[in-house]
Homo-oligomer: A and B are copies of this chain.
Amino acid sequence: MHDTLRLIHSRRSIRTFSDRPVSDDTLLTLKEATLRAPTAGNMALYSIIEVKDQSKKERLALLCDDQPMIAKAPVVWVFLADMQKWVNYFEESGAVKRAQAAGLAAFRSPGLGDIHLCLQDAIIAAQNAVIAAEALGLGSCYIGDVIENFEDLSDLLCLKRFTIPAAMLILGYPKQTASVKQSPRCPVDSIFMTDGYEELHLDALEQAYHEHESSRRKVGSLPYGNEGTLADYYYLRKHSSAFMEEMNRSTAVMFERWVNG
């Protein structure tokens, strides 16, 4: 089984893909593996939209912080946290009315706890897909920007009240097979803590992200010239960016619609 550990260690995110199409057979194998992900109470609190229509892919690429690689990817999957199907099932099957008639339960409209649980289900399935894809020779990349522009995304993908984007993957055969150096990771002891949260402060954080900073300096992309640090880089490029502002606005809207309609 150490093949699987090797695979986990050699995986890296792939953003450009070869022209080789992903066959229907391979896609089906990938889908079947994806579905074997664990799910809360075995309810499958998620759905996956495969975006195939080229004009929709282009629109989606625009909505996700204008990243053309999305429109070029052979396979585009949007993972939804999905409580809508269960709301439908409970109401249309008569389960709600039976419970009321028997005095067992009043209807409970899904709230933030349902969102959390459904997000878990959907994201667990997404990472199951990433590993299964890797085993099939397919590369993948998460698109965090799927949580931006919720209103437009909702229109584009015909989302219903109790469905929200949880994660997004682009997939395909990697363009380059030549090994590319992998992204650094934090040391184990900066991520894993024992028995309680251990708040990290400056020295520990600089150590935790030491390798990140080294590799960032090599590509020369720090702000303030050579005076900048990794913290400056992430603060300016990520934390205080327009797309991060938009993620916050958009997520507030999607949660609000779910909870209050």
Which residues on A are within 8 Å of B, measured CB to CB?
1-5, 7-9, 11, 13, 28-29, 31-33, 35-38, 40-44, 46-53, 56, 80, 84-86, 88-90, 92-96, 98-99, 102, 104-108, 111-117, 119-120, 123-124, 126-128, 130-132, 134-137, 141-142, 144, 147, 156-160, 163, 166-167, 183-186, 188, 191-197, 199-202, 205-206, 208-209, 212, 224, 229, 231-232, 234-236, 238-240, 244-252, 255
* B-chain residues with CB within 8 Å of residue A37 when the two chains form the complex: 127
Bound together, the chains give a CA A119 to CA B80 distance in angstroms of: 14
Q: Are A132 and B244 in contact, CB atoms less than 8 angstroms apart?
A: no
Copies assembled: 2
Bound together, the chains give a CA A216 to CA B112 distance in angstroms of: 28
Q: Are A240 and B99 in contact, CB atoms less than 8 angstroms apart?
A: yes
Which residue of B41, B108, B132, B231 is within 8 Å of A4 (Cβ)? B132
Main secondary structure of the interface of A (DSSP, over half): helix
- Name which of A113, A124, A137 has the most chain B CB atoms within 10 A of its CB: A113
Known A105-B240, A232-B99; contact A188-B29, beta-carbon cutoff 8 A: no
* B-chain residues with CB within 8 Å of residue A107 when the two chains form the complex: 240
Shortest beta-carbon distance, A54 to chain B, in Å?
Answer: 10
Bound together, the chains give a CA A11 to CA B1 distance in angstroms of: 13
